[in-house]
Structure formats: C-alpha cells, structure tokens
Chains A and B, each alone.
Chain A
Amino acid sequence: KAGVTQTPRYLIKTRGQQVTLSCSPISGHRSVSWYQQTPGQGLQFLFEYFSETQRNKGNFPGRFSGRQFSNSRSEMNVSTLELGDSALYLCASTLDRVAHGYTFGSGTRLTVV
C-alpha cells in the first residue's frame, strides 16, 4: 500500500514569503501530525489533525498553520518566513491507535534564504 506522501521534497524560499506543504496520509488514516526537525531543536511537534479538526497544537507562533481536508490530506502553511524556519518538515499519519505506530513521510526540506 502507498505510504505517506509529502510534496514537494525540497523547497527554497526567500525571507518574508509564505509556503504551503502538502501531506497525503495512508489510505484510511484519519489522523495527520506535523513535526519540524532542525539540528538545534531536534524534532518538535507542530500540530495534529483528525477528521478535519485540529486536535492538538505545539508551541509554535501563529505564522504556522494547517488544515485537513475531507479526504484526510493535510496542508501546513508558514507565512512571513524567517531564516530559522529552515528545517525538515515531517508529516505522520496513524489509524488513531497508538500501538499501530505513526507512519512518516520522507519530509519536505525547506530552506529559507
């Protein structure tokens, strides 16, 4: 079966611009989570969506937002990009049962210049 698909794989943006990242979960998975990975801060939780509702949110500024569509696909948006937003953004989906584990995509590597 198809895994979690994230697009694009790589992205270069300029400070002040905005960016939208996409995540298509495994078919049947209704929960989608987003994580930011940087060398300094490691892996940090951004937010989680379940059935089109944001169920949980991490400690990130309001420039980071997301949404989930009726087909469970999710997008995250970062507005007014800063250099510190350069990171690997990982999306994970799950059947909403912890023991099944979270399946991650390959990530989108965002570089802000």
Chain B
Amino acid sequence: AQKITQTQPGMFVQEKEAVTLDCTYDTSDQSYGLFWYKQPSSGEMIFLIYQGSYDEQNATEGRYSLNFQKARKSANLVISASQLGDSAMYFCAYIRQGGSEKLVFGKGTKLTVNP
C-alpha cells in the first residue's frame, strides 16, 4: 500500500518569507498523482496544487509551487511570500491513476505564519 510521509508536524515562518513543506511517498506505481491541500480551522480542505507522475515540469499555482523529485519520491510544497492567512494544516495526498481513485493522505503539517 502507498504511504505518504510528512515529517514536519509543525512549521513556523515569518510573514513575506518562503517556506517549504516536505512530502515523501512510497509506491511502486508508474502512473500516479500528488496533491497538496490546505485545511484551515474551519475544516474545509482547499485544493492547492497537483502534480502528475509523468508531468515534465514542476507544477505552479500562484504563490504555490511543487518541487517534484521523482527519483527521490518527494513532492515538496513551496509557498512564496507567506501571508498570515496561510496559517493552516497542509496535507500531501497521493492517488494511483487508472486504478482505485482514492486519496491517501499524509499526517499533515501545521504551518504558522508570524507577523
């Protein structure tokens, strides 16, 4: 079974600085996708960014970018110019494409942005 590891239970960053949230995955699948979601205290999971295993370029969405290193099986999220509203839980999730389409989540990282 696939395993997603987020080694940072909590991270702190100063407003306007960049921060990297780590995610590694363990799989033997050839075709898969990786997501990052943000969960504020309200509970809703907000989609941030997606990377497919065959995508040649790293995904970017505004201030979010995904540092995808396939050989190392890592998919780190980079948030540039942090804002106070970025304080939340962040989850990395894996999905096997072409098979059972269920998301497998990591344990999450709690990000706190300090003013």
Chain B interface residue count, CB cutoff 8 Å, equals 24
> In the assembled complex, how far is the CB of residue B67 from the closest CB belonging to chain A, in whole angstroms?
19
**Residue from B43, B95, B97 with most neighbouring chain A CB atoms (10 Å):** B43
CA distance A109 to B35 in the complex (A): 24
A58 at the interface (CB under 8 A from B): yes
Q: Which residue of B lies closest to A105 (CB)?
A: B44
Report yes or no: A98 in contact with B105, Cβ–Cβ below 8 A: no
Report yes or no: B33 in contact with A92, Cβ–Cβ below 8 A: no
Chain B residues with Cβ below 8 Å from A88 are 43
B64 at the interface (CB under 8 A from A): no
Residues of B in contact with A (beta carbons under 8 Å apart)? 33, 35, 37, 42-47, 50, 52, 91, 93, 95, 97, 100-108
A-B contacts, 20 of them at CB < 8 A, read: A33-B101, A33-B102, A33-B103, A35-B103, A42-B107, A43-B91, A45-B102, A48-B100, A55-B100, A56-B100, A56-B101, A88-B43, A92-B103, A98-B95, A98-B97, A99-B33, A104-B44, A105-B44, A106-B44, A109-B43
